[in-house]
Structure 1
Amino acid sequence: MRRRSTVAAIDVGSTKVAVIVGDIGDQGETRILGVGVTPAAGLSRGVIDNIQSAREAIRVAVEKAEQACGMRILSAVVGISGGHISSQNNRGIIAIPDRSRAITEDDRSRVLDSAGQVAIPTNRQVIHVVPRGYWIEGTEPVSDPVGMWGGRLDCEVHIVSGAVSAIQNLTKCVEGAGVQVDDIVLECIASATSVLEDQERQQGVALVDIGGSTTSVAVYDEGSIAHTACLPIAGSQLTNDLARVLRCPWEAAEHLKCTVGAAYADSSMHETVEIQAFGTQAKKSVDVRHVCEILQARSEEILEMVAVELKRVGYYDRLAAGLVLTGGTSQLRGFPDVAEARLGIPARLGQPARYSGLSDLIGTPAFSTSIGLVEYALSGRERVLESAGGASFEVPVGGLFRRLASFGRALMPQ
């Protein structure tokens, strides 16, 4: 049983490549068996720009995960993000010819097919079609119409698409590392799976995944996913600001951000720290408050861009549960407090909690996407999309092999 339920997930980020192997524990929780992490290479703003470098980084991370779990990784679920991602909601309607019988699964499939038929450019590919709700003859929405009676069935879906070139390059990199791609999953949906609570989805919440080079937003309202977006700004911009203003190497700026940085600056910050510098002096002292002022300006810009996106789609004032911040950059000290003060809505730090094993290594917001991908693979499309607001349908990225492989065993003993 354990071998059949063991899966692998690959999170190809802008700062790191994480490969996680997991199965289902005795209490039904996600159990992490092995982790492989390596610095990312060959990516820019969430998109691969050097296939050879990216493939090598993935290969190294896969080997580390294999050594950690003692199994061979043959296939995996892979996360995707980047500025090429776009989304839209669409509605489909069908007639039920025989009102004397209940609505069947075939009827549900037909209305989902109808709602999923949208015109997209030839250079784009559908990644997800997630049901948001069903209506029987215009009544109140229902989560699953099968077994009910009516003469007309409506369905609204959330459709996520991406650039064909970006999807193909990611797939080829993973396959070049010796791993078959079972499925491609939008990373903010995976993150939401691991950190959001059911009540937050019902009341209205925006998951904000702040990574290395992109910030992904997933809005949930009345229990279903309503909007997804990817913004071209994230943690690397904070590091670049420090490096430019303080005139220091990028590595020194990153270390400074992670050790003494904060998303706010106040008068109580009096200490100074020593960092590497360019020029004749090998090191120089900088004021911590000045460092935090630089970080605060860019942090507030990220939050403002999130607010603009939420206002654009009409959800800014409808999020009773506010924001859930996750991703590596969200760990910057005081980020949720700045979000609440700047945007005037509740905010909290989201990190994976419903898993066991290796918590000292991956129990941080930086691994929310990675663990969410494992939960996606373990639960199967149906259960995960139910938590995303749907019941049983998704347009797969690949062909027949991927559709079958997602239900099969992803790993074999070495």
Structure 2
Amino acid sequence: MRFNKLLLALPVACVGLLLLTSCDNGKSQNGNNQLPKVTVFKVEPLNYTLKISLPGRVVASQIAEIRPQVGGIVLKREFDESSNVKAGQSLYQIDPAIYQANYDSAVASVASAKANANIAQLTLKRYAGLLNTKSISQQDYDKAAADAKQAEAAVLVAQAAEHTAKVNLEYTKVYSPIDGYIGKSSVTEGALVAAGQSTPLALVQQLDPIYVDMTEAATRYNKYLQDENVIYEPAKGNNVELFFNDGSKYALSGNIKFSDMTVNETTGTVTLRSQFANNENKILPGMFVKPQVTLGYIKNAILVPQQGITSNKQGQYTAKILKSDNTIEYRQDIQVYTGIGGYWVVTKGIDVGEQVIVTGLLNLTGVEMGKTMKGEMVGDPTTLTQGQLDSIIQKSMK
């Protein structure tokens, strides 16, 4: 009886085993035929603007500290505080009385010296006639000639003293050496001032044009110089934009006036000076501002999403490219210049028009071992437009 039940159960078990094996084979076959699904980014040529944002501080293009060159009492201040002055405009009047007296005395001394010189010359001429008749000795004539020369020298000394006295008299009027803005006066009428005193009477600053001093790390600045005409084409003309601390933008662009090649030993930075027109005096000395410098342009730049670029054990940048026949190519030694807004700027290893795989990379590790693989693209390729790139660059500067 048991034997009969076993015989009946055996065909049923065999049928179940065959069905299970058939199902497993079907699953295995379907799995082998199914391609890994990926999404790709199609590389389009773009014009990349290389910009940097630097800290900046405003300084006047010219600064004149007004100091007296003679001492005395200030009789009058001849300018309005917080106003614009012209070069040669009188700013202060120092009491000229003593200097006028010195000048008058010097003028009289010149007249006296000239009179003495005239007498000495007449005496010399008369002695010359007497010497011919042997009426005087040679010694007397020589003494008269020496006296004449000494009188002429005395005239020169007196004239020099007169010039000094005249200059000191003129210094009692203190003039502005430059055009510019003058602030408050540090002295009032009746104040006693001294020649060359340490405290200036006032400060005149030329505000148009005006300078903005920017600082950049010396290592980065040297890298920019090395990349000029190699990675990017340098910008020309007015390539500096100015932003204030409230985020507003100055209407006019400026240009780099010079870059200092001396590195600050404490901070390791170099100074770049830019120049702006400032006829409305909206930029004031001492302000902290945010200049943006356009270094140059990379034409037909290749930008790739950063998730599509990986690195191998050797530290090389790598990427996987989906070809037109759906085969996957493994690229190594890709060169990246810089990154911005989730994208890499690639300078070598990826060409325009190629499709870089950005998702589904974990299923494609076999390609790195040299295995031939194909992939199935899901949806349409994503791209980056010029407008999107410009927006990303602008946002990165904030």
Relative to the length of structure 1, the TM-score reads 0.18
**Where is the helix percentage greater, Structure 1 or Structure 2?**
1
Q: Which has the larger radius of gyration?
A: 2
Looking at both structures, which has the greater relative contact order when contacts are Cα pairs under 8 Å and sequence separation is at least 6? 2
Relative to the length of structure 2, the TM-score reads 0.18
